Amino acid sequence: MPAAVSVRGLVKRYGEVEAVRGVEFDVAQGETFGFLGPNGAGKSTTIGMLCTLVRPSAGSATVAGYDVVRDRDDVRRSIGLVFQDPTLDSYLTAEQNLRFHAELYGVPRSAVARRLDQVLELVGLSDRRHDEVRGFSGGMKRRLEIARGLLHAPVVLFLDEPTVGLDPQTRRSIWAYIKSLQQAERTTIFMTTHYMDEAEYCDRIAIIDQGRIVALDTPEALKASIGEDRVEIRTDDDLAAIAALEERFGLKASTHEGLVSFSVANGAEFVPRLFAGLQVPIRSVAVSRPSLDDVFLSYTGRTIREAESAAPNEWMRRMAQRGMRR
Amino acid sequence: MSAEAVLDVDRADLAHPWPAPARRSRLAVSGRAIWVVLKREGIRFAADRLRVVTGLLQPILFLFVLGSGLGTLVKFGPHLNLRTFLYPGAAAMSVLFTALFSAGSVVWDREFGFLREMLVAPVSRTSLVVGKCLGGALVASTQGVLMIAIAGLANVPYDGVLMLTIFGELLLLALAVVSFGMLVAARIQQFQSFMAVTQMLVMPLFFLSGAMYPLSNLPAWMRVLTRIDPLTYAVDPIRRAVFEHLQVPPALRARLVPGISWDGWHVPLGLEIGVVAVMAALFMAIAALEFRKVD
Ligand SMILES: Nc1ncnc2c1ncn2[C@@H]1O[C@H](COP(=O)(O)OP(=O)(O)O)[C@@H](O)[C@H]1O
Ligand SMILES: [Mg+2]
């Protein structure tokens, strides 16, 4: 199967600024692929180039087999787009917004009604289809935009920070919708986020920092690559437990707020051995994996929060951009 | 919620949920885009009754307050009152402002992000601009229909031919104004700036168009400026049509509706209309070019 997205040496310069500095990756059909990185890392610029909205300074990319520079219209027909900023007409109803899109993307007239029902159902907005969008919550608007992005059955759906600015509960529900549609439609999804926890929803993620991909793998592999799991146990006799861990398993443990904690390569597999081997009674066990925060830290030398505060903040950047656009 | 139950389409092979259509002609794609953009203008306008009212307010003030107030100074005799003379200008004004507002809505679209949805679609920019211009012109000419409906209040007769003629001329004017507004809007980011710029341009055009006074016996500098003003060529045909349907002594008519002359040469009606049509086409073409550069 050909790749849904294929990128080679892609570069974008804005004057002095090198927003994207030679990224390379392939996204397989049906995959959910994520770009994870702090603000200003070059995520939106990369999406812009893949969607033919930004002209690459160097390198090449194909989407659904079409070249993003030579076959612009073919690329546009093959993709769905959900931008970072909303692009709905809030004075039209949900359905009117979708119908407008169906016409512009040439969905066959005979297929429109059925397709509308499908995508509205998919994002749980069937009962609001005749309401004007301005009455919708932020989460509902996002869902409607996702429905619209899917309406013309694109090969790849691009989502640029689909949950930014939404509360955690809404973010979770948006992700549930994205995952369910991904299963139902087998659409390839290319999304960006700067929320660590959201990258977990992806099949593979590329960690991008200052215009470069610094790591690319499954979330599991990325976390495994940086080391061991953390195990915390509560015992009746902490000192005996520490001694036993040292003696039987060769592990260095320490107590911390009434818990004995230590690191081990594969925590989940170690737990049964722990129960069998440790003579001290254990009352509870918790195994935690390294977080993507730890992954980002190990590849870039700073936490994502530090990276964000080093970059000019989002607001200032937008004001600057407004000024620059004529 | 089970999404699979809803979507009985199997996309395992990445086939479309509908049979892939034969490659559609560019014309068909553009036609559909023009139509849907136009339709949206209509939907938005129909939902916005306030705009209809405010669009009527200015010309009615102009017609009745100015017309009746100045009417005490200006007497044309028993056959004609000032309101009738001002009617073509008022009708043009009503369409002018509505048309500008329609064009300005593209700046709203930009501010609220919807323009992006249109610009990234796999359709030509020209079809988007043409759809917007046609839609805006149709919306603005519904305002013209309202002005035609109140013609009687200005003692303009309800004559079928006259009403159709006025409508046609207003529609053409609307198209030219929307297209002009679109070419301005292509470079403007904020609605307030759009309004400021267009008011600045349109007010002088309106005052110089002969909407408020006859084109005869003007001082030389004003004579020249009125001839340059494209709006003059939109107002004069409407006034000609109105006066054709009035019983006015020839001498008075010659003074009030002298027509337009270029250095003594009398410009025929067809050419006046042609000037407006050429303007409309020219502005629309430039607007389309401008929007090609927008990203
Ligand atoms: N139109 C532009 N002109 C100049 N600089 C830009 C433009 N768009 C983005 N940039 C710069 O490129 C870098 C990457 O931006 P962006 O791709 O928006 O990052 P992200 O989406 O990861 O937050 C930033 O430093 C940003 O300021
Ligand atoms: Mg971004």
Please tell me which residue of chain A has the smallest CA distance to B116.
A87
In chain A, which residues have their Cβ closer than 8 Å to the Cβ of B20?
none
Full pLDDT tens readout for chain A, 326 residues? 679 999 999 999 999 999 999 999 999 999 999 999 888 899 999 999 999 989 999 999 999 999 999 999 889 999 999 988 889 999 999 999 999 999 999 999 899 999 999 899 888 899 999 999 999 999 999 999 999 999 998 999 999 998 887 888 888 888 888 888 778 878 899 999 888 778 888 999 999 999 999 999 998 888 777 667 778 889 888 888 888 888 888 888 878 777 888 878 888 888 888 888 888 888 889 888 777 776 777 777 666 777 777 655 554 555 555 444 43
What is d(CA A260, CA A230) in angstroms, rounded to the nearest whole number?
A: 11
What is d(CA A120, CA B7) in angstroms, rounded to the nearest whole number?
A: 11
What is d(CA A267, CA A2) in angstroms, rounded to the nearest whole number?
A: 38
What is d(CA B228, CA B150) in angstroms, rounded to the nearest whole number?
A: 31
The two counts, helices (H) then strands (E), for chain B are 13, 2
What is d(CA B155, CA B115) in angstroms, rounded to the nearest whole number?
A: 44
What is the number of the ligand 1 atom nearest to the C-alpha of A43?
22
Q: Is A181 in the pocket of ligand 1 (CB under 6 A)?
A: no
Cβ-proximal residues to A179 (8 Å cutoff; 6+ apart), any chain: A32, A201
Distance between A198 CA and the closest CA of chain B, angstroms: 21
What is d(CA B295, CA B292) in angstroms, rounded to the nearest whole number?
A: 8
Q: What is the pLDDT of residue B27?
A: 85
Q: Residue B136: pLDDT above 90?
A: yes
**A235, B89, B262 from B267: Cα distances, Å:** 104, 19, 7
Q: Ligand 1 centroid to A296 CA: how many Å?
A: 20
**The tokens of B260 are what?**
């337009």
Whether A81 sits inside 8 A of B7 (CB atoms) is no
Q: What is the pLDDT of residue B23?
A: 63
Q: What is the pLDDT of residue A275?
A: 85
**Per-residue pLDDT band at B5 (split at 50, 70, 90):** very low
In contact, B152 and B55? CB cutoff 8 Å: no
The SS3 call for residue A235 is strand
In chain B, which residues have their Cβ closer than 8 Å to the Cβ of A87?
113-114, 116-117
Count of beta carbons in the 10 Å neighbourhood of residue A11: 16
Q: Is A48 in the pocket of ligand 1 (CB under 6 A)?
A: no
Q: Ligand 1 centroid to A50 CA: how many Å?
A: 15
In contact, A200 and A224? CB cutoff 8 Å: no
Whether B36 sits inside 8 A of A100 (CB atoms) is yes
- Positive or negative torsion for Cα A228, A234, A238, A240: negative
Cβ-proximal residues to A72 (8 Å cutoff; 6+ apart), any chain: A52
Q: What is chain B's mean pLDDT, rounded?
A: 87
The H or E element that residue A245 is part of is: none
Q: Ligand 1 centroid to A18 CA: how many Å?
A: 9
- For ligand 1, atom 4: residue with the closest CA: A14
Which one of B105, B112, B132 would you mutate to disrupt binding with A, by most A Cβ within 10 Å of its Cβ? Answer: B112
Distance between B121 CA and the closest CA of chain A, angstroms: 6
What is d(CA A20, CA A7) in angstroms, rounded to the nearest whole number?
A: 12
Q: What is the pLDDT of residue B3?
A: 39
The SS3 call for residue B264 is coil
Q: Under the phi-then-psi rule, with left for phi > 0, alpha for psi from -120 to 50, and beta for the rest, what region is A164?
A: beta
Amino acid making up residue B134: L
Q: What is the pLDDT of residue A250?
A: 86
What is d(CA B57, CA B150) in angstroms, rounded to the nearest whole number?
A: 12
Q: What is the pLDDT of residue B13?
A: 37
Bridge-based pairing state of the strands A32-36 and A204-209:
parallel
Which of B233, B282, B227 has the alpha carbon at shortest distance from B92? B233
B210 phi and psi angles, rounded to 5 deg = 80, 15
In contact, A26 and A3? CB cutoff 8 Å: yes
The stretch B112-119 carries a mean pLDDT of 93
As to burial, measured by CB atoms within 10 angstroms (0-12 exposed, 13-18 middle, 19+ buried), residue B225 is middle
In contact, A164 and A7? CB cutoff 8 Å: no
The SS3 call for residue A101 is helix
What is d(CA A135, CA A145) in angstroms, rounded to the nearest whole number?
A: 15
Q: Which domains does chain A have, with CATH numbers?
A: 5-218 (3.40.50.300), 228-289 (3.30.70)
Cβ-proximal residues to B62 (8 Å cutoff; 6+ apart), any chain: B86, B89, B90, B93
Contacts A–B by Cβ distance under 8 A: 106
The stretch B44-64 carries a mean pLDDT of 82
B125-137 burial code (b ≥16 CB/10 A, e <16): bbbbbbbbbbbbb
The torsion of the CA quartet B51, B52, B55, B60, rounded to 10 degrees, works out to: -140
Count of beta carbons in the 10 Å neighbourhood of residue A105: 21
Which one of A66, A185, A187 would you mutate to disrupt binding with B, by most B Cβ within 10 Å of its Cβ? Answer: A185
CA B63 to chain centre: 19
In chain B, which residues have their Cβ closer than 8 Å to the Cβ of A85?
113, 116
Whether B6 sits inside 8 A of A53 (CB atoms) is no
pLDDT: is B76 or B177 the higher one? B177
Question: Nearest 5°: CA angle at A46, between A40 and A48?
Answer: 105
pLDDT in tens, B78-108: 778 889 999 999 999 999 988 998 999 999 9
Q: Ligand 1 centroid to A195 CA: how many Å?
A: 18
Q: Which of residues 34-93 of B touch A (CB under 8 A)?
A: 35-36, 40, 43-44, 47-48
Q: Ligand 2 centroid to A85 CA: how many Å?
A: 9
- Positive or negative torsion for Cα B145, B149, B155, B158: positive
Q: Match 């025929």 to its residue by tokens.
A: B268
pLDDT in tens, B182-238: 999 999 999 999 999 998 999 999 999 989 899 888 898 999 999 999 999 999 999
As to burial, measured by CB atoms within 10 angstroms (0-12 exposed, 13-18 middle, 19+ buried), residue B152 is exposed
The H or E element that residue A163 is part of is: none
Q: Residue B267: pLDDT above 70?
A: yes
Q: Is A45 in the pocket of ligand 1 (CB under 6 A)?
A: yes
**The tokens of A300 are what?**
């870039």
CA neighbours closer than 13 Å in the CB half-sphere of residue B180? 26
Q: Report pTM.
A: 0.82
User: What's A200's DSSP letter?
Assistant: T
